[in-house]
Amino acid sequence: MGLRERVKSVLLKGYEFRLNRWLDGKQRPRHVGVVLDGNRRWAKEAGFTDVAHGHRAGARKILELLTWCREAEVEVVTLWMLSTDNLDRPAEELEPLLDIIADIVDELAEPGNPWRVRHVGALDMLPTETAARLSAAALRTKGRTGLEVNVAVGYGGRQEIADAVRKLLQKHAESGGTIEELAEVLDVDHIAEHLYTSGQPDPDLLIRTSGEQRLSGFMLWQSAHSEFWFCEAYWPEFRRTDFLRALRDYAVRHRRFGS
């Protein structure tokens, strides 16, 4: 590392220290959702012909983010790794991406790590081997008390709502009820109970990297009162400084919850 880089690193650490001190005692998000966007563009701009290099760099960044979240006392993190739309990508890109995702989820589930892994998404839309690896990783973390990590793989907000309604109808039918009876009592809580994130608090803060300022269907139901924060950096370039800035912006927002 050259002198210029060392000076820049020292200045950045000092800035992060000041941000952390300012955040002390301020409101913090319990649940943070992150759209991990820009891996492919990062790889292409870095000169790689194989975009899998971007996905691997993005996977390594996940471990850093979870450490930052634990330090900030975040309780739940939802990571959007693969959408239902992404499943239509060419096999030569999708297959390595699925392996990279399964590998990082396996790493999260390794003994000694504190993370509690939970898959959120449509397992039946994923290849059998990928679905099995994600389910097994989540099972290995059962009983842990650390940060809960939702890995959103094969996830789409519309698909989630459709699956929730389907589960609700199936449960009602199994109990012997009729559609007319369900229609009389159906409310938003009934649907919320059948979402992939059932039992968890809705996200307080949603972060998207790469400069795109849209949710693209991420947590459509749960984000009704979420605060949004958009970052220009591609996901592999996302820094602790960026995360602390997101927390700072969240801390000064007055959350009205529709009131």
- CATH code of the domain covering residue 49: 3.40.1180.10
Integer Cα distance of 59 and 71 in angstroms: 20
Question: Which tokens go with 240?
Answer: 């602790």
Binding site for substrate: which residues?
38-42, 55, 83-85, 89, 208, 214-216
- Is 163 among the domain residues? yes
Tokens coding 37: 């966007």
Number of domains in the chain: 1
Provide φ and ψ at 80, rounded to 5°.
Answer: -85, 105
Is 239 domain-assigned? yes
Residue 23 lies in a domain: no
Residue 187 is a catalytic residue = no
Q: Do the domain assignments include residue 13? A: no
Q: How much is the pLDDT for 3?
A: 76
Per-residue pLDDT, 2: 76
Instruction: Single out the catalytic residue among 20, 24, 50, 86.
Output: 86
Binding residues for Mg(2+): 37, 227
Supply the pLDDT for residue 254: 79
Nearest CA-CA partner of 83 in 152, 161, 165, 134: 152
Rounded Cα gap, residues 90 and 238, in angstroms: 27
150 beta partners: 78, 118
Q: What is the pLDDT along the chain (259 residues), one digit of tens a residue?
A: 677 787 778 888 899 999 999 999 999 999 999 999 999 999 999 999 999 999 999 999 999 999 999 999 999 999 999 999 999 999 999 999 999 999 999 999 999 999 999 999 999 999 999 999 999 999 999 999 999 999 999 999 999 999 999 999 999 889 898 889 888 888 999 999 999 999 999 999 999 999 999 999 999 999 999 999 999 999 999 999 999 999 999 999 977 776 5
The pLDDT value given to residue 1: 64
Q: Using CB atoms within 10 Å of the CB of residue 205, give its burial: 0 to 12 exposed, 13 to 18 middle, 19+ buried.
A: buried
For residue 86, indicate whether it is catalytic. yes
Query: H helices of the chain, where?
Result: 3-23, 39-45, 52-71, 91-108, 128-140, 157-174, 179-185, 188-192, 240-252
Does any domain span residue 40? yes
Report the distance separating Cα 229 and Cα 25, nearest Å: 21
- Whether residue 16 is contained in a domain is answered as no
Torsion (CA) 185, 188, 194, 197 in degrees, nearest 10: -160
**Domain span at 82:** 28-258
- Is residue 22 included in any domain, yes or no? no
10 inside domain: no
- The amino acid at residue 191 is I
The one catalytic residue among 37, 113, 202, 204 = 37
Binding-site residues from annotation = 37-42, 55, 83-85, 89, 208, 214-216, 227
Calpha distance 46→117 (Å, rounded): 31
